Structure 1
Amino acid sequence: MFKWFWRCAGILVLSLGVQIQAGAGMLYPAWDSHLHYLDFTQRTDGIDELVRKMDAAGVKEAVVFGMPIVKMWSAADPVRPDYYLDTDARAYYFSATDFILAEHLEKQPEAVRQRFHPFISGINPLDLNAAEYIETLIRLYPGFWQGIGELMSRHDDLTAFTYGEPPRADHPALMKVYRLAAKYQLPVLIHHNISSASKREPIYAGEMERALKANPRTRFIWAHVGISRRIDVPALTEEADRLLAACPNLSFDLSWLVYDEHIAVSEASLAKWAALIEKYPDRFMIGSDKVGHWATYPDEMTKYNRLLKKLSPKTASRLASENIRNCLPKKPVVYTP
């Protein structure tokens, strides 16, 4: 009898363990729409570890890009910075990030390679040569690139650290990039703060709106709904609603601080954002926004389960994977004169 009891208990524990394991991942088949393969010093934990963490989280595929800005290690600093806020040293735009990403991805077996959708990110958004650089990469790596971004426009402290004038979403250099994106049907993922740290109104939304309306054939993904460190716009959902209604070529990714500090702060805020997502079910996506290191990767993806539970199954599936998949080009992108 005791043998029977312990056998049944073991089966029960095993069953519970399987349920716990299944519940530890994403509730729906998921794609990561926002993943930096490299950090601010161009270091990475590598693809093998990333794949293991994606599998642990239940993430099938990911949009991946490098880091277009490098944090300088100044002679005045005794330790090498890992993150842009670690020291007071300056930062600079770094085009080689795209070549590093391509070199790592092209070495992978086809089964691994097919899980990643690489974007070109390494441009200076103030340089009128930026569009030409992107087209050069398309020519050098035929059929490889599937999007552009994350482009760095206004970005609070990072903007202050980076050499050059403050970037903006409607800068002439970026306008050329958007036109090139339309030519190749490449989506554009852009970080552009919707406001400053000292204002509670969306004072920079107009720059983004002008870019959107001037480029109706370009698909834009506005990272973090315009939110960054110390950016607090109380009417963010209302402004997002207005922009989505006015600009059919706009989508939002919900990664990083907008989720942690605006969406998931309470059941009421979750419900408010869920209602907005249900209103525009094909215009939102999720992402980890991890930066070269994967220790907390599963948590950064499975946190969205709270939001997914608030949505209808159809909308949740769109948010988890279908929307970002539908943004990508339908055929390999090759250079055309």
Structure 2
Amino acid sequence: MGRRLGAAAAVLTAVAVVASQAGAGSAVAGTGCFDRAREPYTSQVDSHLHFRPFGGQAIPFEELTGYLHKSGVRHASMYGIGQTLPTNSNCMYYLDCPGTPVVPSMKNDFANAENYVETHPKDPELTVSMTFMDLNHPETIPPGITVYDKEYPGVFRWAGEVNLVKQALFPNHHTPATSENIKNWAPFMKVLRDRGIPITIHSDLGSDADQTKYLHLMEETLRLYPENKLVWAHMGLSKELTAMDPDRHIGIMTRLLDENPNLTLDLSWRVLEDNYFSRPGARQKYAAFLDRYPTRAIPGTDFVASRDKDYGVYEQELEVTSRINTALDDRAFRDIALGENYYRLLGLKESAPKLCRAE
């Protein structure tokens, strides 16, 4: 079972995590409200979940949705992985195969869509995402959307995770999109905007050697497409950028949120917890930042459903990526951990449960 904090742990420290129930994930029975003192702090939404791996076999669909139900996740964005390894490769993960090209493909999206239309799961509810988009070749994207519309009308309600710049993929022939590429996104971004479809963009801020080397690419995207629902994956952080001062990072995020009302931050991937939130004093800083912008972030695990993983791995990823929730105030906890921002971003009628008042 997962781990959670007791009621007294409003501010998390490295030794404050204690064992508890995980996966209840719903309002207290009979009260219609969520009691933070009694229920898990793990997020009820997983907005960043890859149902398909880069290569090799995937966890079967029914098994993976069972993980979500068991852990108390009520909604999830059903990502494929647009950038896939060749079918003749024995690799399951691109980092194990430097030199092997990892290129955008539709096959994972089609597999996800087929599983979705066959089952229409309601617990958890799923949002199917288009992940095939090659941002370096934007002219291929509108025709691709047309294919999706024909084959699976109305099924795809999210876009991404797509790569603007992902340094981890450089050894696999990935190159950053250019400013000229970004200008040429206009046709497909209009489709997404007209349909109210959010797009999750992976765009590294930089590396430890040059911490804001690629910031201008996201700034250009925000400048050109201010009306699109843009979700910035991992707040721009990565394994290549682990040494940025939290105050500097928070300052950049604050400026961009203030300048761009339609920008949402994605809090997925344990890199955030392992390299930033868990630093001495940093959790309180990030929590205070999110408390100031409670409507501007969504949670996720960034779990990749390759067959070499099981429920224990997913449960751990959910717990680790949810630890920041323990330090949030009630407004931010409801909006982020309980899913209110996610529902609003998708235009869903569902609302997160209210929090119980302390007696």
TM-score bin, normalised by smaller chain:
0.7 to 0.9
- CA spacing shift, 1:130–1:55, aligned 2, 3 Å: same
Q: Distance in 1 between matches of 2:227 and 2:109?
A: 25
Task: Tell me which residue corresponds to 2:65.
Answer: 51
What is the identity, as a one-letter code, of the residue corresponding to 1:280? Answer: Y
- CA spacing shift, 1:261–1:174, aligned 2, 3 Å: farther
Q: Distance in 1 between matches of 2:254 and 2:321?
A: 20
Q: What is the RMSD of the two structures over their aligned residues, measured on CA atoms?
A: 2.4
User: Which of 208, 223, 234 does residue 213 from structure 1 map onto?
Assistant: 223
Provide, for residues 230-263 of structure 1, a one-character-per-residue CA deviation record: whole Å limited to 9, x for no partner.
2243221111111111111111111114423343
Task: Tell me which residue corresponds to 1:325.
Answer: 343
Q: Distance in 2 between matches of 1:73 and 1:198?
A: 35
Equivalent pairs counted in the alignment come to 306
Q: Distance in 2 between matches of 1:135 and 1:72?
A: 25
Q: Distance in 2 between matches of 1:28 and 1:134?
A: 34
TM-score w.r.t. length of structure 1: 0.83
- CA spacing shift, 1:221–1:265, aligned 2, 3 Å: same
More helix by share: 1
**1:135 Cα shift?**
3.6
User: Which of 293, 299, 303 does residue 320 from structure 2 map onto?
Assistant: 303
What is the identity, as a one-letter code, of the residue corresponding to 2:342? Answer: I
Q: Distance in 2 between matches of 1:73 and 1:105?
A: 23
Question: Does 1:162 pair with 2:173?
Answer: yes
Stretch of structure 1 that moved more, 268-277 or 167-176: 167-176
Q: Distance in 2 between matches of 1:241 and 1:258?
A: 20
Structure 2, unpaired ranges of 5+: 1-18, 26-39, 350-359
Provide, for residues 35-84 of structure 1, a one-character-per-residue CA deviation record: whole Å limited to 9, x for no partner.
1110001631022221222123211110111110112377xxxx811101
SS of equivalent residue, structure 1 residue 39:
coil
Structure 1, unpaired ranges of 5+: 1-18, 332-337
Is residue 29–residue 60 contact of structure 1 (8 Å, CA) maintained in 2? no
Q: Distance in 2 between matches of 1:30 and 1:256?
A: 16
Percent sequence identity is 25
Task: Tell me which residue corresponds to 1:11.
Answer: none
Question: Does 1:193 pair with 2:211?
Answer: no
User: Which of 224, 249, 258 does residue 245 from structure 1 map onto?
Assistant: 258
Task: Tell me which residue corresponds to 1:102.
Answer: 113
Is residue 42–residue 67 contact of structure 1 (8 Å, CA) maintained in 2? no
Report 1:48-87 matches (<5 A): 48-72=62-86, 80-87=90-97
User: Which of 287, 299, 315 does residue 286 from structure 1 map onto?
Assistant: 299
**1:144 Cα shift?**
1.1
Q: Distance in 2 between matches of 1:252 and 1:218?
A: 14
Is residue 42–residue 323 contact of structure 2 (8 Å, CA) maintained in 1? no
- CA spacing shift, 1:42–1:241, aligned 2, 3 Å: farther
- CA spacing shift, 1:133–1:23, aligned 2, 3 Å: closer
Q: Distance in 2 between matches of 1:61 and 1:184?
A: 20
What is the identity, as a one-letter code, of the residue corresponding to 1:52? Answer: G
User: Which of 71, 89, 104 does residue 93 from structure 1 map onto?
Assistant: 104
Q: Distance in 2 between matches of 1:42 and 1:36?
A: 14
Question: Does 1:131 pair with 2:142?
Answer: yes
Task: Tell me which residue corresponds to 1:16.
Answer: none
**1:329 Cα shift?**
4.1
Provide, for residues 123-169 of structure 1, a one-character-per-residue CA deviation record: whole Å limited to 9, x for no partner.
22222121331243134322211111111121013134136x43257
Is residue 23–residue 71 contact of structure 2 (8 Å, CA) maintained in 1? no
Is residue 41–residue 322 contact of structure 2 (8 Å, CA) maintained in 1? yes
Is residue 62–residue 115 contact of structure 1 (8 Å, CA) maintained in 2? yes
SS of equivalent residue, structure 2 residue 327:
coil
What is the identity, as a one-letter code, of the residue corresponding to 2:239? Answer: R
Q: Distance in 2 between matches of 1:262 and 1:256?
A: 11
SS of equivalent residue, structure 1 residue 326:
helix
Q: Distance in 2 between matches of 1:258 and 1:277?
A: 17
What is the identity, as a one-letter code, of the residue corresponding to 1:311? Answer: L
Task: Tell me which residue corresponds to 1:118.
Answer: 128
Is residue 253–residue 284 contact of structure 1 (8 Å, CA) maintained in 2? yes
Stretch of structure 1 that moved more, 263-272 or 247-256: 263-272
Question: Does 1:31 pair with 2:45?
Answer: yes
**1:313 Cα shift?**
1.6
**1:28 Cα shift?**
6.1
Is residue 270–residue 317 contact of structure 2 (8 Å, CA) maintained in 1? no
What is the identity, as a one-letter code, of the residue corresponding to 1:285? Answer: I
